[in-house]
Amino acid sequence: MIPAIIIFAGTYLVMAIGRFPGNKLDRTGAALLGAALMVGFGVLTPEQAVAAIDMPTIVLLLGMMIVVANLRLSGFFRLATNWAIARARHPLALLAAIIAVTGILSAFLVNDAICLVMTPLVLDLVMRLKREPLPYLLGVAAASNAGSVATITGNPQNMIIGSLSGIHYASFATALAPVALFALLAAFAFIAATHPREFFRSGAIDAVAPARVHYHPTLVVKTLIVLAAMVLLFFLGLPVAEIAILGGAVLLFTRRINPQKVYLDIDWPLLVMFAGLFVVVAGLERTVLDPRTVAEIGRIDLNSIPILAVVTAALSNLVSNVPAVLVLRPFVEALADPERAWLVVAMAATLAGNLTLVGSVANLIVVEKARTRSVVIGFWQHFRVGAPLTIVTIGIGIAWLSLT
């Protein structure tokens, strides 16, 4: 028990602060090291460690990453940006277009990958239009978190929840898509209200010719057809992971794109981190979180939607949303209505990502990508939008899930 607790605590410390103090060990390395130590100290056998890895989640994430890579390589995202330029004649319209495009894409694709693609495109766009980049970048981060609430394929924690809970894709979307829509509208309102000089005291946007885009029309069409077919099959109830990897594999069958370019776009460290975390949490569950312990901790009334949402949001900001979901699993599965509880966890863990800059990987991606163009997003610049946005949207999510 003691080695398991120490290994778990050390791993989650790195998840919380990003690196091991005094060392360059990052989150992925910590998850891998923690998994290896769980086996090395005999907490789990090698067979138990392998069995602990939820392969449907890994496969689903890999498949969606391949789809996003093909969309990027085909030029689709730049086409979408040009579409926004052609229609946005006022700063508010531009913000609305950026939030809508980012939110919709994040609803069906992995939001972290959408941020990787959208941030440089939005930066290039607003600089060409000579606008203040900060509020539009905040729009990308907030919309990616808000939009991804809607479906199982929107973000990594939802993928884990979908796999662990067995909730139907359509049922998940029916329950949480309205929350995502409200969160997108709230993001637009809060960002506009906190940046009046950009949105209410400046005139119309000067017309700018759309940037020349090099794209593969055939690959754009093919990828969109495959994506549409995947989403349709998701809603029809077919296994999400199997459909995702099949769609990704079909897209690798092409004469136009070298598969090596697709492989370079896949976030392999994220997949390794997931696998390691599954093993680390399994080690803790096996030695510490027995049914009796779970029942004792469960005296906190997690059957209450507000309490579960607040606990999830707090834990997500302490150790990040994916580790939070994994550590909450035994408690959620012991509740009277685990399906409803999983929806609450999905809602709160995702929307809590807007609270601070370090609340989600999507936020950090936007910050780092902006820094490459000498645009700095400060903690308080984000917090004055993210804090009220998080409180209001989680509150609406609690109310919605309590009534439905």
Q: In this predicted model, what pLDDT tens digit does every residue of 10-26 receive, in sequence order? A: 887 887 777 777 788 88
Segments in 88-150 forming alpha helices (H): 91-108, 111-128, 133-148
**Based on the number of CB atoms within 10 Å of its own CB, is 371 exposed (0-12), middle (13-18) or buried (19 or more)?**
exposed
Residue 109, phi then psi, degrees to nearest 5: -115, 175
Q: Are 276 and 1 in contact (CB under 8 A)?
A: no
* Percentage of the chain lying above the pLDDT 70 cut: 93
Residue 26, phi then psi, degrees to nearest 5: -100, -175
Distance CA 341, CA 345 (A): 6
Q: Is 150 in a helix, a strand, or coil?
A: coil
Angle at Cα 59 formed by Cα 55 and Cα 64, nearest 5°?
A: 150
Per residue in 215-253, pLDDT tens? 888 889 999 999 999 999 999 989 999 999 999 999 998
How many CB atoms neighbour CB 194 within 10 A? Answer: 16
pLDDT at site 203: 67
Q: How high does pLDDT run on average in the chain?
A: 87
Per residue in 281-324, pLDDT tens? 888 888 876 656 655 665 677 889 999 999 999 888 877 788 88
Q: Taking residues 141-145, what's their average pLDDT?
A: 95
How many CB atoms neighbour CB 377 within 10 A? Answer: 18
**Based on the number of CB atoms within 10 Å of its own CB, is 206 exposed (0-12), middle (13-18) or buried (19 or more)?**
exposed
Residue 41, phi then psi, degrees to nearest 5: -90, 5
Range of lowest pLDDT (28-32, 341-345, 393-397): 28-32
Question: What pTM does this model have?
Answer: 0.85
Per-residue DSSP letter, 256: S
pLDDT at site 133: 92
